[in-house]
Amino acid sequence: MNPRHFISLLDLSSEELRQIINRAIELKNKRDRDYQPLKGQILAMIFEKSSTRTRISFEAGMVHFGGSALFLSPRDTQLGRGEPLQDSAKVISSMVDCIMLRTNNHDTVTTFAQYSSVPVINGLTDQLHPCQLLADMQTFFEYRGDIKGKTVAWIGDGNNMCNSYIHAAMQLDFKLHIACPPDYLPQQSYIEAGGERIQFFDTALEAAKDSSLIVTDVWTSMGQEDEQAIRELAFRDYQIDSTIMNAAQTDALFMHCLPAHRGEEVTSEVIDGPQSVVFPEAENRLHAQKALLEFLLC
């Protein structure tokens, strides 16, 4: 039987996604360290890019559940010396129970999944960051209840996080307002998939109106460091400040996947202010991924 993978939020049904979110909240509230459903199981974690939250949350989650995690970097394995992905996927999956990858190219994760005999989890690619969305949605459900029918504003880069927000809007039935500089829109295939649930705005202020959640991300993602100067110019009207927050619903939340750059995509006043839930959002990576691991492996 083919293993179940988590490459995108669309790999789950809407019901399964809601089930994982609710289970994450339950696991967080119970904090039962005696519950060890993954005793003896091993997660291999392949990181082509840096990480704080993703690495620690997966590793800690596996330990909480009685298992363990292996950190593998291309620099220290044959992956970095050109061993074919399909060979690596077959070999690694013959020795572990699950594989998480953070890669430069989305195709690396999909190829790995094609040849892996165990579940493959997308820990971020240039196109998607579905694990972050599990945590973001868990956080919204905790603070405000179900997100169905609400309006979320994505302001900033039409990047991997934005694409995953489009998927979340499709799966959980919320409206997504998007305000990106014209040259930084999400790829056409994601726009088409989002259909009527997504709406584009010329300014951050217009996108924020009626929103229950304002979300942004860095202007320069990992791998785009050479574009920093040009991006700072392109995104200068897309900073989340108190004017943007005041245009949203009065009880609107602010989220950011972190790491953040205060003074660039968000002011200190907002990210460190009362509407910001960025630290519970970060902690929820742990709980949401434990619920995901349980769903995929138990």
**Contact positions vs ligand CP (CB under 6 A):** 51-54, 124, 132, 257-258
Which of ligand CP, ligand NVA, none binds 52 (CB below 5-8 Å, type-dependent)?
A: ligand CP
Number of residues that bind ligand NVA (CB under 6 A): 10
Residue nearest to ligand NVA (CB): 221
Buried b (16+ CB within 10 A) or exposed e, 233-269: ebbeebbbeeebbebbbeebbbbbbbebeeebbbbee
Tell me if residue 132 is catalytic: yes
For residues 109 and 5, the answer to whether their CB atoms sit within 8 Å is: no
* Cα torsion 162, 114, 172, 123: sign: negative
Q: Among 72, 218, 240, 282, which residue interacts with ligand NVA (rule: CB under 6 A)?
A: 218
Q: At what angle do helices 14-30 and 278-297 cross, to 10 degrees?
A: 110
Binding range to ligand NVA, per CB under 6 A, among 4-12, 25-33, 214-222, 280-288: 214-222
Interaction of residue 48 with ligand NVA, rule CB under 6 A: no
How many C-beta neighbours within 10 Å does residue 123 have?
A: 28
Amino acid at 154: W
Residues in 123-142 that interact with ligand NVA by CB under 6 A: 124, 129
Nearest CA to 111 out of 134, 145, 80, 88 is that of: 88
Interaction of residue 257 with ligand NVA, rule CB under 6 A: yes
Tell me if residue 285 is catalytic: yes
Binding range to ligand NVA, per CB under 6 A, among 170-178, 216-224, 225-233, 241-249: 216-224
3-class DSSP state of 32: coil
DSSP 126-195: SS--HHHHHHHHHHHHHHHS--TT-EEEEES--SHHHHHHHHHHHHHT-EEEEE--GGGPPPHHHHHHHG
Active-site residue (options: 132, 138, 171, 275):
132
Active-site residue (options: 217, 231, 239, 256):
217
Which of ligand CP, ligand NVA, none binds 221 (CB below 5-8 Å, type-dependent)?
A: ligand NVA
Quote the DSSP letter at residue 216.
E
- Whether the ω angle into residue 119 lies within 30 degrees of 0, i.e. cis, is no
- Min dist CB 260 to ligand CP, Å, is 10
Which of ligand CP, ligand NVA, none binds 160 (CB below 5-8 Å, type-dependent)?
A: ligand NVA
- Min dist CB 283 to ligand CP, Å, is 12
Tell me if residue 217 is catalytic: yes
Which of ligand NVA, ligand CP, none binds 161 (CB below 5-8 Å, type-dependent)?
A: ligand NVA
- Min dist CB 57 to ligand NVA, Å, is 12
Number of H helices, E strands in the chain: 12, 9
Residues in 58-77 that interact with ligand NVA by CB under 6 A: none
d(CA 298, CA 293): 8
Contact positions vs ligand NVA (CB under 6 A): 124, 129, 159-161, 217-218, 221-222, 257
